């Protein structure tokens, strides 16, 4: 917990690794260092500037690393104008699958939120998230 250049609010050093947090609105912070792994959250909320900063600079900085991995997540914005939609459509459009929680079923399905019109998916009693369960799309 000591105060040093290796331990600040936005930069932490550990044995052989570091964790750095940067703002998508700060080109200087994003261009400060390369990294092998980058997590860019809420990319549809990034302010795009004339310089084109944001997750693009992170990708360019990671390009020098052979096994660079960039994870992009976001609540989608408007269709056709969404950075996360563009990234998804530019990829292999793979979905993460989860196995049905019932041992006898074993069906693999997309992890989705339950809705009033769809009986399957992640559900819970209103106001009681501790009651969460997952209903298989196969009906078990």
pLDDT in tens, 47-72: 664 355 566 777 777 877 889 888 88
CA–CA dist 18, 38 (Å, integer): 12
Q: pTM here? A: 0.66
The pLDDT, as a whole number, for residue 102 is 81
Q: How many CB atoms lie within 10 A of CB 114?
A: 16
Q: How confident is the model at residue 92 (pLDDT cuts 50, 70, 90)?
A: very high
Q: How confident is the model at residue 6 (pLDDT cuts 50, 70, 90)?
A: low
Q: How confident is the model at residue 89 (pLDDT cuts 50, 70, 90)?
A: very high
């Amino acid at each position: 917990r000591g105060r040093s250049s290796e331990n600040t609010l936005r930069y932490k050093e550990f044995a052989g690794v570091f964790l750095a947090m940067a703002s998508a609105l700060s080109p200087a912070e994003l261009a400060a260092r390369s990294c092998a792994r980058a997590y860019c959250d809420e990319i549809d909320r990034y302010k795009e500037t004339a310089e084109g900063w944001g997750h693009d600079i992170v990708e360019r900085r990671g390009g020098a690393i052979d096994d660079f991995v960039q994870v992009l997540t976001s609540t989608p914005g408007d269709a056709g104008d969404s950075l996360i939609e563009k990234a998804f459509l530019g990829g292999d459009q793979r979905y993460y699958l989860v196995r049905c929680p019932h041992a006898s079923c074993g069906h693999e399905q997309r992890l989705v939120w339950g809705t009033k019109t769809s009986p399957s998916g992640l559900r819970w009693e209103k106001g009681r998230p501790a009651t969460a369960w997952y209903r298989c799309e196969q009906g078990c």
